């Protein structure tokens, strides 16, 4: 196995761990609320603090990601995430916990950014496959995380112990990676030969006018992810509640519906890693979002539990590769600034993550969740429009 392949595999392992930690908060939050005697709004502030920290990380990434040794800082941030997860379990009070989750959001999202940028650097000629695999394993971690946390809690472990266990896993994997993955720290942030060739292929990348055009495309890709994030995070936050309260399904089935939705996302990323380049990345983004939106609108309007679950699964399959595809395209537009491109796209994605659950909840309060959940469908059409504009620009300046 080459050092490049070892590096990609190491990044995949770290990304899977990131998925576990990122999603399990939803399972452990009720226990935190009971442990500290919190109101629901106070509990929500913990999640908001983490998301705000993640948005802050994007500004740091924009300034630093292309100026630091990515492999070294990936290992450092993995260790820091492990320590912060352990510290969360040791928090003596509510406000300490909020601060810890804010810092955790910064470090975890910076790790996410570095993993994306470094993976793009390691495989400049095969970005679509490597990025979709990277995000597929994140989806697997996100699928496993809540179930693992629930199982640990069912063993009568306090929520603190769940965070200690996951934090310890981070530290263990970081140590094993440093010992067993020879040469990881010495992997270049990008292959000089590949980078030079790709910059030449970009019609003179250092040219200011060309660079400006590429940045416009990257920002448009960021808007694709912004609206997709409204869909994905809004669905993750509200789908079980919608199924349970609006369509009257049992809680276990409602939770399973969310798991099946994420299974659709994982399947999407696997399929696109195999055939995405042959179909065309922007074509997948445009038509996947359009058909995903149509399917969701139809399934919600029919108001059938089975149809709704099936519709969200199919939407997951049709749109689940949006984030890795936009990352691959952004790196292709700015191969000499992969860290900055990732930061811009992820910064806009974080805005979508912040407004998605809130917007659905606000509309649900006023008009009913059966109307609010339609936001998760409608934003896919806007994402498709942004992807179409990227496609048009690519053809115009090709």
Residues 6+ apart with CB under 8 A from 175: none
Cβ atoms 62, 12 nearer than 8 A: no
Helix (H, G, I), strand (E, B) or coil at 228: helix
Helices (H), 65-93: 70-90
* Upper half-sphere CA count for residue 293 (Cβ side, 13 Å): 18
Residue ranges for the chain with pLDDT beneath 70: 1, 40, 180-183, 186-206, 398
Cβ atoms 252, 378 nearer than 8 A: no
- DSSP string across 285-323: HHHHHHHHHHHHHHHHHHT-HHHHHHHHHHHHHHHTTHH
pLDDT, position 14:
93
Distance in angstroms (rounded) separating the CA atoms of residues 54 and 149: 22
List the structure tokens of 33: 């609320």
Cβ atoms 24, 145 nearer than 8 A: yes
pLDDT, position 343:
86
| 37: enclosing H helix or E strand | none
Task: Work out the end-to-end distance of the chain between its first and last CA atoms, rounded to an integer number of angstroms.
Answer: 36
pLDDT, position 192:
39
Distance in angstroms (rounded) separating the CA atoms of residues 369 and 297: 13
User: Which domains are delineated in the chain?
Assistant: 3-190 (1.20.1250.20), 201-396 (1.20.1250.20)
* Upper half-sphere CA count for residue 323 (Cβ side, 13 Å): 31
Q: pLDDT tens, 33-76?
A: 888 998 867 877 887 788 888 888 888 887 887 778 888 899 99
pLDDT, position 188:
58
Distance in angstroms (rounded) separating the CA atoms of residues 23 and 246: 24
Q: pLDDT tens, 339-374?
A: 888 889 988 998 888 888 888 888 888 888 899 999
Cβ atoms 274, 126 nearer than 8 A: no
Helix (H, G, I), strand (E, B) or coil at 275: helix
Distance in angstroms (rounded) separating the CA atoms of residues 354 and 234: 9
If 0-12 CB within 10 Å is exposed, 13-18 middle and 19+ buried, where does residue 175 land? middle
Distance in angstroms (rounded) separating the CA atoms of residues 248 and 309: 13
Residue owning tokens 């999603």: 23
pTM for this predicted structure: 0.80
* Upper half-sphere CA count for residue 173 (Cβ side, 13 Å): 25
Backbone angles phi, psi at 397, to 5 degrees: -105, 10
List the structure tokens of 160: 């603190």
Cβ atoms 362, 371 nearer than 8 A: no
pLDDT, position 56:
86
pLDDT, position 330:
92
pLDDT, position 2:
74
3-state helix, strand, coil in the chain (%, to 5): 85, 0, 15
């Amino acid at each position: 196995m080459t050092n490049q392949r070892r590096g990609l595999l190491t990044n995949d392992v770290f990304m899977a761990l990131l998925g576990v930690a990122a999603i399990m908060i939803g399972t452990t939050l009720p226990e935190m609320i009971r442990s500290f005697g919190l109101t629901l709004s106070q509990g929500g502030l913990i999640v908001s603090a983490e998301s705000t920290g993640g948005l802050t990380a994007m500004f740091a990434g924009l300034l630093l990601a292309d100026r630091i040794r990515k492999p070294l800082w990936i290992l450092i941030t993995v260790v820091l995430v492990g320590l912060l997860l352990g510290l969360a379990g040791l928090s003596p009070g509510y406000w300490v916990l909020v601060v810890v989750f804010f810092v955790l959001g910064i470090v975890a999202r910076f790790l996410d950014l570095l993993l994306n940028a470094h993976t793009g650097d390691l495989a400049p000629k095969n970005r679509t496959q490597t990025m979709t695999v990277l995000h597929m394993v994140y989806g697997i971690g996100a699928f496993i995380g809540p179930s693992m946390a629930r199982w640990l809690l069912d063993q009568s472990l306090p929520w603190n112990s769940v965070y200690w266990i996951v934090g310890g896993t981070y530290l263990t994997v970081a140590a094993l990676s440093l010992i067993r993955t020879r040469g990881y720290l010495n992997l270049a942030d990008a292959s000089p030969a590949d980078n030079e060739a790709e910059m030449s292929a970009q019609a003179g990348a250092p040219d200011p006018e060309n660079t400006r055009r590429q940045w416009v495309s990257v920002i448009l890709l960021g808007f694709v992810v912004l609206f997709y994030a409204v869909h994905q995070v809004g669905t993750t936050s509200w789908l079980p509640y919608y199924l349970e309260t609006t369509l009257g399904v049992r809680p276990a089935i409602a939770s399973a519906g969310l798991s099946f939705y994420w299974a659709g996302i994982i399947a999407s990323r696997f399929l696109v890693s195999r055939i995405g380049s042959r179909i065309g990345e922007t074509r997948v983004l445009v038509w996947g979002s359009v058909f995903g939106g149509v399917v969701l609108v139809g399934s919600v309007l029919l108001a059938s539990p089975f149809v709704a679950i099936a519709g969200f699964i199919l939407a997951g399959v049709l749109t689940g590769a949006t984030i890795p595809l936009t990352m691959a395209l952004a790196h292709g537009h700015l191969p000499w600034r992969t860290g900055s491109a990732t930061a811009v796209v992820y910064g806009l994605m974080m805005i979508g993550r912040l407004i998605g659950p809130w917007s659905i909840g606000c509309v649900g309060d006023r008009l009913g969740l059966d109307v609010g959940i339609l936001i998760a469908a409608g934003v896919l059409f806007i994402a498709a429009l942004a992807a179409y504009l990227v496609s048009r620009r690519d053809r115009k300046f090709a």
